[in-house]
Structure 1
Amino acid sequence: MSHQPASSFDQLIAILGKKVNLTGGEELKLTGTEIADILWLILQGQESAETTPAVVVSLPKNDTTDIILPTPTQLFSDKNPTPLVQKSPSVDVYHSGKLPPSINPSHSDKPSRDSNTLPIKTPDAKSLRDSTAIIRALRPLVQRIAVGRRKILDEQATAERIAEEQGIPIPVLKSAQELAFNLALVVDESNSMIFWRQTIEELQQLLKKSGVFRDVQIWGLVTDNQEEIYLQRGIGKKAHHRRCSPCEVLGSSGRHLILVVSDCVSAIWHNGKALSVLEIWVKQNAVAIVQMLPESMWLRTGLTLGAKVQLGNSILGAANQRLFVKEVLLWNDIKFDRGIKVPVLTLEPDMIETWSEMLVGKGTIGAGGFVFTSPPKAQKPGARSVKDAEPKNFPSQEFETKENLTSEERVYRFRMTASPMAQNLASLLSSAPVITLPVVRIIQETLLSMSQQIHVAEVFLGGILKPLSPITPKTHPDGVEYIFIDDDKDKKIRDFLLKNSLRTESLQVIDAVSKYLAENIGNKSLKDFYALLKKPKELDAAVEEAKKNKKEALDSFDSKRFAEITTKVLKRLGGAYARFAKEIEQSQYPQVEPPKSSVTNELIQYSPKKFNNYENDFPEFLENHSETFYT
């Protein structure tokens, strides 16, 4: 420690000890604890100044760092790859004596436990693409209202009064306030909603942590064997299986919101049973439907039972029956004053913000929704039965069985109805050797950051994809693999979509999918995974071992199909990529020399070189083996 700091330090101790008056006012009155805190803070400041000097980095004047991108041969080779950055003279930059490079596990020089693997964590990307924007869109709902007779101290008003009264401490009280709204999130648990399980889980966690609502409760909307609707607390595996009446969801008028998350395609939305539940709720609370499908598909759902309108409101948290119709967007023979008015929105931030502003009473704002007539008490003769209304399985399977379209017609129809973002996503998926929901989310994260959940719905419900296995309520959605509808035939849909994708994007997709699978197959590195592609038996063994560890992502993994699609895309890239594709093909389909039959041996004997008289000898050979060649 230098002389000057020590002298100053001694002087400070003397000042504190004598309680010297430094301000010209009263003498310093410090406790022993306060003096100890001051001394400790000074010591910490001096130690930091001595042990943490400014870091000065000096590089050679002519130093250049050459970036070397890997060639295709280096990328797919089993040999050690060329490093991406060519080493040049440099200096180590870190805190001297305090933070060695090995402090960061990611830069540790220690070898991993398995020298053949390199742990590469590829976390599952989020299904809700911009959760921050969703919270921002809900900001109008952050309203505080006075509750009960409880009073609390108004600190600011009290301070102002004390200043005005020249030091007389007269407290100012105000009514206790709390957030205006509670939320009941009701999730439709029909078969088709299994596809959106990840999105719903992220949504409920987001709403609970948002700070927008005083309380958030999760309910499941379930039907029994008799197609009667009941509710249960929680969803999925966390659900409490006690049957609850729809009335249990109701809350205080003006302070309780009910959001129904559904795609509106199950039978209860077509036969009016869901409307019976909505009719109970809208009389007392504010209710809205969070539609999982894009707006362009709404008219293919049970929402067609109503008329599309713009709804307005002038009262904070008004129940739906007090909403007024601003504009009729799609006419239907419905009495709007007596109908069931329900706002409908997607998870797009713009729609959420519009609905939020309408709900808090901004009369100039109109939110999109539908008005339904009261459901009939009994089903009309000739109406579609529950069995007919319930989708048998995933909706895209209905497209395949009910519509006999060619591959060209399917692609044309998809491009005519899908948004540009959905078309881009479909083109990228055409390069993916495996199509699962986690793969889709990774592609969105890496290549289509602006895409939303509704664009995924457009692709998967656009009539070009189908699941490889049936989807049941017990199916884990992330373990279901999808293929293009004609992949088991002529594969023209994939070819048409590949034409619209850039070659660089195709390679990025293959890398992203391979990294995801490599992480699930025993934390393999990307190079190790590519090496396994040329060893199908070892790859299959590794996959089977990973499945034992409950890796849902590998439930339907087929190494041959993966290799087939990968080689198809790599051949399109040409050069070393095409040569690597050929190596994969040769490993998948090794050329086995067939056993030579007696006929083959005689053909060799009667080769043109050995025919003395071709016109006589060769016809004689054919005549002797006529049964072989002409039967």
Structure 2
Amino acid sequence: METPKQQRRSIIGQFAQQLKRSGLELNAADLADMLWLAQFIESESEGYSEEISEEIVESTQRETTTIDETNTLSSEPSFNLYSNEQSLSIPQTTEPSEPSQTDQKALPFPVPSAPAIRTRLDLARGLRPLMRKVPSRILVDVDEEATVTQLAETNICVPVVRPTPERWLDLDLVVESSKTTVLWKRAIAELQHLMEYQGAFRTVRTWRLQAEEQTVQLFPRWNERLENRLTQRPRSIRELVDPSGRRLILYVSDCTSALWRQGIIYETLWQWSQTQPVALMQMLPERLWSRTALSDGYIVRLGGRVAGLPNARLDVEGLPDVDEWDEPDEPEEVGDDRLLTLPIITLDPNSFQRWARVLAGAGETQTPGRVFELAFVREMAEEPVSTPHRTAKQRVELFRATASRTARQLAGLMASIPVSLPVIDLLRDEFLPDAQQDHVAEVLLSGLLRRCDSDESEVCQYEFFDGVRDLLIDGVPIAKTTAILDRLSEIIAQKAGRTISSECSADLAVSVEEQLPNPKGFEGFLTVLEESENALGESALPFATVGLDVLRRLGGDYQELAERYGRQELSSVGERETQTVDFLLEEREYEVAKVVNFPTLQTFEYEPAIITDILEERFEFETATISRENEDWVIHRRRSSAWGYTESLNDEIGLEMVLIPGGTFVMGAPEDEPESRENERPQHEVTIQPFFLGLYTVTQAQWRIVASYPQIERELNPNPSQFKGDNRPVENVSWEDATEFCKRLSHNTGREYKLPSEAQWEYATRAGTKTPFHFGETITTDLANYNGNFTYNESLKGESRRQTTDVGNFPANVWGLHDMHGNVWEWCDDHYHDSYEGAPDDGSAWIDEDGIETKVALRGGSWNYNPGNCRSASRFDFILRGDRYSNVGFRVVCVMPSM
């Protein structure tokens, strides 16, 4: 009788599992040979075959119901709250039974089954440029037509062969083994699956790379089981070298481990990159790259006009003084001037596609990258890392000003509990399901926490800097904070096999009802913890201690409850214990990965000196967004803040400058954006370095002070404006006047001020948005000063003020910049061009050499123009550098000095 289809699948799955456990290195050909040979092997008896089959099924069932620290294939993902040494049994039935060792290891807890990579199809499409075939150097096929032709012509029966077409590239997927790797295991496993089955590569091998005593070690199979790792021998890194250029190395890392901090990995990557293509798969999003070792490299764009070029031969744009940094003629030469060129890709389809096109030799495409000077990174590794001293208030304010909304919410939740990655995952599942792993990384790299484990080999442990936890708790609703405490209390009690509500006495139940929203939650947990048997174990004390601190911070009845328990024996026991989080440092098992803890934070705070020297003031402001609700446009306002400094112009008046973080954005307008024009296209990516930009346009009061400074090239009218007012923007100033203002300001302050480039202006205006306005899809006269007789995108008509308004009168964007839409047009440093064909992609001003009479770019719209001219991408195109109008002003950029 034929085996049912479902049963056949089960047996094949069991066979695959057994092969994986065996640790054998088998490729597709080996497996095919093995299965072909198996059909000729007869079992000794039918009974023996059935016995083996039953044994395999029974073994598989045992594995799927047993959760241990090495099994990542369990059909029931679980959350393990306690360590193996301190674990407590969970009753599986209502009948008394002896807890097994398996029962003591884990508490089943459901986790989301959503894929870690949600754009796998788009990623696969991005790899299509690599799917070409080339003649094999080993395998041949019989050319039947040529053989027949030869036989007919020569009467000689000799087969004619030709090389077999095969995929162009082999792939070596090298995964960095560090404390952070476990955070990305699911994504890496799905990436490996994509690479193996997409069809772009002839073979795919995976490797695990780690450092042992300052030496790089390479092992086969990145996700090898722990017991098999103990018997593995390291392989030479030269095993991956392929001078033919047909082997690609994809190095997977987030660049935060000791391999990067200690400068160990650079030499290995440099050796690989001299003979073949190597790319870095960065797991962190680009907004966090500056907090990793990538901050030690030059930001560049890489291209290639020949397929399969090694990194050392890629075209590099954006490297300062390129002629002075030529690579040595011989790859073996070791010198202080060696450079490591490294393309960087992320799990983003556009990033994949650009990199694949560069690798395939599409000369018109460029991909982001970094160039590292090996002498410099060695020097950085030898120097101790200095962390700027900040108060708890400064840390929290800086985090709230720069972090994403989800990361801010997650940090507030984390303040209620001891910090460990499993608990963070629990908080995400229970209270913040939209949070992703990169939001977790954003919090852990924010400077709010510090590492409290002493050795790199230990499990990562974290604690908030003094005072930070209290400030974060103040920003979270009390109901949310108490809900977190109650939920975690329930899980710990379930772990101990206790029901908190049943352990509470009648008197306790009454007292709890008077003080906490949930009488079965945290107070019940404290009562159980105080019992003589200490059923929850001493490892639960850190949670109790943190929880009491949280209640004290909440005040009122919560503080009274905390003081009542704090005066009892629990408080004294908690004081004797070190506040570790061992009971929360457990591995949480997923379908393809186990998540433990994230690495150190403070080691990677590479803040440039310019920031620590002058970034000393926090600006508070109101931001707004507009969205359609029930066919009406609704404005949502909130308070925010940003960091910057104030340049003192005299004893009373200063020039406020706000920090604009670096990054990459798409400049220009898409064709479907209403009222967009062709001079706003083609859209193109631009990479911007950090800079400071004026919080407001230059005011008339500020203009008068700088106009009184010593003249540099031309005279300045101290009162040029038509609409008078100290806090109104200065207008009726030409591009030449604005440039003179910048020169005088630079000479007087010692810092370099200039007009922003068009790219800097649009990048700062958008502040991460892609909509026509940083407010949203439309705009109203409640948000900006423009001609309200006109509308945009079905908005209502508004007020037409017919004059300028005071700066800062309207909400800012999320980076703190006011009046980027409307009020006055703003001069940019660029000469005007009819399109973006040939525009710089590094954020610099686009200036023609002989452009004395050339028109100059204006951005932002003004009080007498319609809202379509106020869009982020809008460009004004008919004004000369010497013209002056009552609707044209400017704001200034402070250029960061080179590090």
**Normalising TM by the smaller chain, what interval?**
0.5 to 0.7
Residues 502 and 353 (structure 1), Cα distance of their counterparts in 2 relative to 1, 3 Å cut:
farther
* CA-to-aligned-CA distance 1:138-184 (integer Å, 9 cap, x gap): 4422526366355599xxxxxxxxxxxxxxxxxxx999766554332
- Partners in 2 of 1:467 and 1:540 — Cα distance? 33
Instruction: Name the counterpart of 1:618.
Output: none
Residues 446 and 566 (structure 1), Cα distance of their counterparts in 2 relative to 1, 3 Å cut:
same
1:140 equivalenced with 2:126 (yes/no): yes
- Partners in 1 of 2:479 and 2:324 — Cα distance? 56
Structure 2 contact 244–276 (Cα < 8 Å) conserved: yes
Instruction: Name the counterpart of 2:738.
Output: none
1:425 equivalenced with 2:410 (yes/no): yes
Instruction: Name the counterpart of 1:622.
Output: none
Matches for 1:346-361 after TM superposition, within 5 Å: 346-347=346-347, 351-352=351-352, 354-361=354-361
Instruction: Name the counterpart of 1:231.
Output: 218
Letter in structure 1 aligned against 2:526: L
Q: CA deviation at 1:249?
A: 1.9
Letter in structure 2 aligned against 1:496: L
Q: Which has the higher helix share?
A: 1
- Partners in 2 of 1:136 and 1:540 — Cα distance? 57
Tell me, what secondary structure is at the counterpart of 1:284?
A: coil
Instruction: Name the counterpart of 2:235.
Output: 244
Letter in structure 2 aligned against 1:245: S
Residues 444 and 228 (structure 1), Cα distance of their counterparts in 2 relative to 1, 3 Å cut:
same
Structure 1 contact 289–343 (Cα < 8 Å) conserved: yes
- From 439, 442, 463, the equivalent of 1:458 is 442
1:485 equivalenced with 2:465 (yes/no): yes
- Partners in 1 of 2:95 and 2:561 — Cα distance? 30
Instruction: Name the counterpart of 1:186.
Output: 174
Residues 498 and 206 (structure 1), Cα distance of their counterparts in 2 relative to 1, 3 Å cut:
same
Structure 1 contact 342–369 (Cα < 8 Å) conserved: yes
Structure 1 contact 261–291 (Cα < 8 Å) conserved: yes
Q: Which of 507-516 and 271-280 deviates more?
A: 507-516
Tell me, what secondary structure is at the counterpart of 2:272?
A: helix
Q: CA deviation at 1:245?
A: 2.5
- Partners in 1 of 2:532 and 2:424 — Cα distance? 23
Instruction: Name the counterpart of 1:536.
Output: 529
Instruction: Name the counterpart of 1:276.
Output: 267
Residues 445 and 179 (structure 1), Cα distance of their counterparts in 2 relative to 1, 3 Å cut:
farther
- Partners in 1 of 2:120 and 2:325 — Cα distance? 31
- Partners in 1 of 2:164 and 2:394 — Cα distance? 64
Structure 1 contact 255–317 (Cα < 8 Å) conserved: yes
Residues 464 and 373 (structure 1), Cα distance of their counterparts in 2 relative to 1, 3 Å cut:
closer
Matches for 1:6-405 after TM superposition, within 5 Å: 112-113=94-95, 121-123=108-110, 130-134=116-120, 136-141=122-127, 143=131, 145=133, 148=136, 149=139, 180-189=168-177, 193-194=178-179, 196-210=180-194, 211-212=197-198, 214-225=202-213, 227-234=214-221, 237=226, 238-239=228-229, 241-251=232-242, 253-264=244-255, 269=260, 274-299=265-290, 301-325=292-316, 327-328=317-318, 331=320, 338=327, 339-347=339-347, 351-352=351-352, 354-373=354-373, 383=379, 386=382, 388=383, 402-405=387-390
Which stretches in structure 2 are left out of the alignment for 5+ residues?
5-75, 77-91, 144-160, 328-338, 503-519, 571-899
Q: CA deviation at 1:204?
A: 3.7
Tell me, what secondary structure is at the counterpart of 2:118?
A: helix
- Partners in 1 of 2:537 and 2:552 — Cα distance? 25
Residues 508 and 188 (structure 1), Cα distance of their counterparts in 2 relative to 1, 3 Å cut:
same
State the superposition RMSD in angstroms: 4.7
Which stretches in structure 1 are left out of the alignment for 5+ residues?
1-32, 38-104, 154-172, 392-397, 546-553, 593-631
Tell me, what secondary structure is at the counterpart of 1:343?
A: strand
* CA-to-aligned-CA distance 1:44-103 (integer Å, 9 cap, x gap): xxxxxxxxxxxxxxxxxxxxxxxxxxxxxxxxxxxxxxxxxxxxxxxxxxxxxxxxxxxx
1:440 equivalenced with 2:424 (yes/no): yes
Tell me, what secondary structure is at the counterpart of 2:294?
A: helix
- Partners in 2 of 1:307 and 1:220 — Cα distance? 27
Q: Which has the higher strand share?
A: 2
Residues 453 and 471 (structure 1), Cα distance of their counterparts in 2 relative to 1, 3 Å cut:
farther
TM-score if structure 2 supplies the norm length? 0.40
Residues 221 and 586 (structure 1), Cα distance of their counterparts in 2 relative to 1, 3 Å cut:
same
Q: CA deviation at 1:409?
A: 1.4
Residues 139 and 452 (structure 1), Cα distance of their counterparts in 2 relative to 1, 3 Å cut:
farther
Q: CA deviation at 1:343?
A: 1.1
Tell me, what secondary structure is at the counterpart of 2:530?
A: helix
TM-score if structure 1 supplies the norm length? 0.54
Residues 346 and 175 (structure 1), Cα distance of their counterparts in 2 relative to 1, 3 Å cut:
same
Q: CA deviation at 1:455?
A: 2.6
Q: CA deviation at 1:436?
A: 0.9
Instruction: Name the counterpart of 2:473.
Output: 498
Residues 285 and 586 (structure 1), Cα distance of their counterparts in 2 relative to 1, 3 Å cut:
same
Structure 2 contact 473–550 (Cα < 8 Å) conserved: no
- Partners in 2 of 1:283 and 1:443 — Cα distance? 46
Letter in structure 1 aligned against 2:396: V
Tell me, what secondary structure is at the counterpart of 1:534?
A: helix
Letter in structure 1 aligned against 2:423: V
- Partners in 1 of 2:355 and 2:260 — Cα distance? 22
Residues 272 and 427 (structure 1), Cα distance of their counterparts in 2 relative to 1, 3 Å cut:
closer
- From 351, 374, 396, the equivalent of 1:411 is 396
Letter in structure 1 aligned against 2:476: S
Structure 2 contact 112–429 (Cα < 8 Å) conserved: yes
Tell me, what secondary structure is at the counterpart of 2:108?
A: coil
* CA-to-aligned-CA distance 1:401-422 (integer Å, 9 cap, x gap): x443221111122234433332
Residues 341 and 131 (structure 1), Cα distance of their counterparts in 2 relative to 1, 3 Å cut:
same
Letter in structure 2 aligned against 1:457: A
Tell me, what secondary structure is at the counterpart of 1:231?
A: strand
Instruction: Name the counterpart of 1:62.
Output: none
Tell me, what secondary structure is at the counterpart of 2:119?
A: helix
Letter in structure 1 aligned against 2:342: V
- Partners in 2 of 1:150 and 1:516 — Cα distance? 62
* CA-to-aligned-CA distance 1:336-380 (integer Å, 9 cap, x gap): 76443211234556544543454444544432111234659x97x
Structure 2 contact 127–352 (Cα < 8 Å) conserved: no
- From 536, 542, 567, the equivalent of 1:589 is 567
- Partners in 2 of 1:334 and 1:303 — Cα distance? 23
